[in-house]
């Protein structure tokens, strides 16, 4: 296995929530219905995860926000469910394994993504 891409993103939770409140429909554009009802820190971490994934994929134009959904295993471990434009780009690059780490503390949410062949 080799590393294909690495992405990281950091989000100020309060500022992110203000953007969601200010921009009508933004929550629905960024998040799937399953994600949209989560608490602020979890929403910000998921946004950071999607941004980090886009960076790891080379930030191509046209990735759909709903095409990367952050879900949790029963243990709480986060992982991506990818489809559509994101799955197509991952396949194009030869991604066979995706690793995701989320964190939030002191008003900041962060995510790291590593893609492997």
Res. 21: pLDDT tops 90: yes
Residue 60: per-residue pLDDT: 85
pLDDT, average across residues 90-105: 97
E strand residue ranges, the chain:
3-12, 68-72, 78-82, 97-105, 108-116
> How many helical (H) and strand (E) elements, i.e. helices and strands, does the chain have?
5, 5
Q: In the predicted model, what is the mean pLDDT of residues 12-29?
A: 97
**What pTM was estimated for this model as a whole?**
0.95
* pLDDT tens sequence across 26-45: 999 999 999 999 999 999 99
Task: Using pLDDT thresholds of 50, 70 and 90, give the confidence band for residue 1.
Answer: confident
3-116 has which fold?
A: Ribosomal Protein L22; Chain A (3.90.470)
Domain boundaries, the chain: 3-116
Name the DSSP class of 102.
E
Looking at residue 26, its pLDDT comes to 97
Residue 72: DSSP 8-state: E
Q: What is the mean pLDDT of the chain?
A: 96
């Amino acid at each position: 296995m080799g590393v294909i891409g690495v992405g990281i993103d950091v989000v100020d939770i309060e500022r992110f929530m203000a953007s969601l409140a200010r921009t009508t429909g933004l929550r629905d554009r960024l998040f799937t219905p399953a994600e949209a009802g989560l608490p602020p820190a979890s929403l910000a971490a998921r946004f950071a995860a999607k941004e980090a994934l886009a960076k790891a994929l080379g930030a191509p134009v046209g990735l759909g926000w709903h095409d990367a959904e952050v879900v949790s295993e029963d243990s709480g471990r986060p992982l991506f469910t990818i489809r559509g434009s994101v799955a197509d780009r991952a396949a194009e690059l030869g991604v066979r394994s995706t690793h995701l780490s989320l964190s939030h503390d002191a008003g900041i949410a962060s995510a790291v993504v590593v893609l492997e062949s």
